[in-house]
Structures are given as structure tokens and as C-alpha cells.
Amino acid sequence: MVLRKRADTDDELLKRVRNAFLAFVLALSVVGVSVPARAGEGLTLSPTLNAKLNLLYLTAFDETIQRHALAQRDGTTYVSTGDIDAEWLRDASETVRPYIALSEHDPDVAGTLRGVVARQAKYILIDPYANAFSSNYHVVEHKFEVDSLLYPIWFSYDYYKQTGDRSIFTPEVRRAFDRVVATLRDEQHHAQRSHYRNPQLANNGRGSPVRYTGMVWTGFRPSDDPDRYHFNIPDNMFASVVMRDLSAIERDVWHDSRMSANAWGLSVEIQRGIEQYGTLELAPFGRIYAFVVDGRGHANVMVDAYIPSLLSIPYFGYLPKTNSLYLATRKFALSDRNPYFFRGKYAQGIGSPHTPHGYVWPLALCVQAITATDNAEVNRVFGWIAASDVGDHRLHESFNADWPEAYTREDFAWPNALYAQLVLARRGQAFAQR
């Protein structure tokens, strides 16, 4: 936990951020990219709130490309997660995502993004069961989180769709993506085919027993916490989407009909498992999605802040935000029935067992705004996001809803990148709905 630290006064920090951002906007104008200098304007009906949101945006958009994405001698790009000097595959993919549109006009940014995927391919080929690596290609954490394998594919497909640049799909990237599919296939049959063990898991590191469902087994949640049961529903939803993306890459880029059919078939098998084993009835919400299940009748009903989450289902494209089953699940997620939904004096939203009780995650607030269909809800969420700013104009991992000056992780790149996506999307600058 970190308490508020202010190395600069608000005026000094604002001047520094403004100067940096003006230089950034000037550089963009040379290549013909339109970036809103006052992106906060029009986000809500309150000019005062919009000014605060703009300060956050000025820091957030500049965050990764200036501070966390580092060119390496081997031509790849290392993306630090922030105050932990390591690269998580998931975090790196998400934190560079706001720059895809910019890369269409800036070859340096395009090279940076291609370097991200090139490095992630090397990581996957070193060990597909590791989730975090150092800049010199050593494994930092060996927690199998299935979403870690999925994010590099998701990002590379997004990049390809928006830019048309196929050069990102090198032979090494192809080998890495083939390794991903082979690993997912093994983990559909974890008990019979997997050799993965971790001392934090039950049953001598094998994990608690599961039944075959068609879904993919995972040892840990996206929060790096161990799962009690091992078919994580939002992770498997994400896998179903990403395997369809990979099927398109195999077909359109590599012209491999066999691997394209394999990826598509895996997506279908996962989706069937989700819909057969991953829902339950919960009054008064009706039928909703569970968080994790084991295929043997056990389920954990909760919603965590990390992405993939049950709240983020439309964000990664498994269901539209108007789907009735999603809406029922969303209503549960944002209710007191969710054990990790917290209300406080300055904010309310979803937290995590990974952080203290009563701490709300800006990641979840951004997702709530992205998936909302009601402008009033979006405005409320923007207010809570602004309330989390303790003077450094940066989003943190989590903050105390009753006292935002108490927060976790002083430097965490991902929520800042997601906030930049939210603002750009809200202003119609970047992301169309998948």
C-alpha cells in the first residue's frame, strides 16, 4: 500500500505535463494525426470535472510510449509493467493498444509495436506456462494464466486489422502462436496431458480435480492469484474470441487452412463448454455467468477487477453489451451480492482479493464506463475516476473508496492505458466496438 506522495506541487506537475504533451501534439501534427489537446472537453456536463479528467488523460496517453516501452538491441520492445521491473504478457499487450491508430502514421511507433509482438513471441517459445519475464529473457513468474497466452494474439490481430501491416507475423511469431494452440489443447485435458505444476495449487501442485468440459484449464487468475477451481469463465470467453482471431490470421496471412480450422474448432469447443457449464441461476438476477467452475458441479460466484472479467465481456467481444445474459451478470457484478464490490465516500466499484478490502480498481471503473449503455452511469464513473487522482494525475492499481490517498502501486501502466482508450473512444477518436 502506498500513501500519497507529492514530489511536485500540482501547478509544477501540471506545467510539466502540459509542456510534454504540447511537444507530443506538435510531433503528431507533422505526421497528420489529430489528437485532442483538451480531450476532457465534452466527456461530462461539468467543465470542472472535464478539466480534471483532461489532466489524467495528458498523463495517461503519454505513459507507456515514453516511460514503459523500451527498445532493445535485438530489435524487440520490452514493456515494463511499471514499478515492477518485469514484463507481463497481458499488461504489455494492453498498455500499447492505444497507439495502434498512431502507428498508421508514425513508422517509429509502428516499429515499437512490432517489437512488442516480436519479444512476446520469444517469451512464449521460452516457456508458454510463464506469465512474466525479465528484459534479459529470464522467467520472473511461472504462474500459468491462460490469458497471458491470448493477449499477444489479440493485440497483433487488432494491429493487423487497423493497419493492414502483415510484417508483424514473422516466422517466429507463427511458431509462438502454434505453441499457444498446442498448449491450450493440452490444457483442455489437464489431468491426462499436462505436466504443469505449481506449489501454490492444491493436489501437490496439480490443482483441484476437474472434469473435461471443452474449456481450457488455468492455474491462476489474471490477478496472479491461484484459482480454487480451474475453468475460469472470462478467461475462456476471451480464449474463444482470440482463437477466432487466430483462425483469421492462419487463413488470411499464412494461408494454412488446417491450422485455421484447428483454431476455429477450439473456439467452438470452448464456447460450448462455457454455455453448458459456466452459467447458473442466482436470485434476483436470474441466469448469470459464474466466475470459475470445475465441471463437477462446483462454482465460485464473484467478479474480479482484472481483465478478462465478467464485467469486460463486451470489451473483448464475446457478447454485445445489450445481451440479456451479460446484462444480468453485469447487474450482479455491480451489486452488493458480489463480494468484491465496494462502496465508499468517494467512489464505488469492483475491487479484488488481490488488494485490501474496500479498495476499488480504476481498471474496473474504466471497463464499467466502456460497457455502460447509460450516459448517466458513464458520468458517475468519470466522477469516481477523477476522485481517485491524489495529485500525481495518474491512475493506480487500486484506491480506498473512503480515502483515495491510500492506494496500491504508485506506477502501474495498464489502467492509464485503458483510461486513454476510454477517453479516445468516448470522443470517437479511436476504437470502434469489436
Q: Which residues of 88-113 are buried (b: 16+ CB within 10 A; e: fewer)?
A: bbbbbbbbbbbbbbbbbebeebbebb
Checking if the pLDDT of 412 tops 50, the result is: yes
Cβ pair 403, 387 in contact under 8 A:
no
Q: What are phi and psi of 360, to 5 degrees?
A: -95, 145
Report the distance separating Cα 15 and Cα 27, nearest Å. 18
Question: What are the residues facing 349 on neighbouring strands?
Answer: 342
Please say whether the dihedral angle defined by the alpha carbons of residues 429, 69, 65 and 118, taken in this order, is positive or negative.
negative
- 297-320 pLDDT per residue, tens: 999 999 999 999 999 999 999 999
Report the distance separating Cα 71 and Cα 48, nearest Å. 38
Q: Shortest CA distance to 426 belongs to which of 378, 364, 363, 387?
A: 378
Q: Lowest mean pLDDT: which of 36-45, 102-111, 169-178, 407-416?
A: 36-45
Q: Lowest mean pLDDT: which of 28-42, 66-80, 281-295?
A: 28-42
Whole-number Cα distances in Å, 335 to 221, 290, 424:
21, 15, 28
Report the distance separating Cα 384 and Cα 379, nearest Å. 9
Q: What is the pLDDT of residue 430?
A: 34
- Residue 28 CB neighbours (<10 A): 16
Half-sphere CA count of 190, side-chain side, radius 13 A: 26
Whole-number Cα distances in Å, 408 to 144, 179, 220, 343, 415:
24, 35, 21, 18, 12
- 178-234 pLDDT per residue, tens: 999 999 999 999 999 999 999 999 999 999 999 999 999 999 999 889 999 999 999
Q: Please compute the mean of the pLDDT values over residues 402-426 and round it to a whole number.
A: 94
Cβ pair 204, 244 in contact under 8 A:
no
Cis, bond preceding 107 (omega within 30 deg of 0)? no
The alpha carbon of 38 is separated from its chain's Cα centroid by a whole number of angstroms, namely 26
The angle at the Cα of 317, spanning 314 to 319, to the nearest 5 degrees, equals 60
- 231-277 pLDDT per residue, tens: 999 999 999 999 999 999 999 999 999 999 999 999 999 999 999 99
- 126-166 pLDDT per residue, tens: 999 999 999 999 999 999 999 999 999 999 999 999 999 99
* Average pLDDT of every residue of the chain: 90
Reported in sequence order, the residue ranges of 60-217 that DSSP labels E, i.e. its strands, are 69-71, 77-79, 87-88, 132-133, 139-141
Please say whether the dihedral angle defined by the alpha carbons of residues 115, 118, 122 and 127, taken in this order, is positive or negative.
positive
Q: Please compute the mean of the pLDDT values over residues 5-18 and round it to a whole number.
A: 42
Question: What are the residues facing 432 on neighbouring strands?
Answer: none
pTM comes to 0.90
Report the distance separating Cα 330 and Cα 326, nearest Å. 6
Query: Dihedral of the CA atoms 154, 156, 157, 163 (nearest 10)?
Result: 140
- Burial zone of 29 (CB within 10 Å; 0-12 exposed, 13-18 middle, 19+ buried): exposed
Whole-number Cα distances in Å, 419 to 1, 131, 145, 245:
22, 24, 24, 24
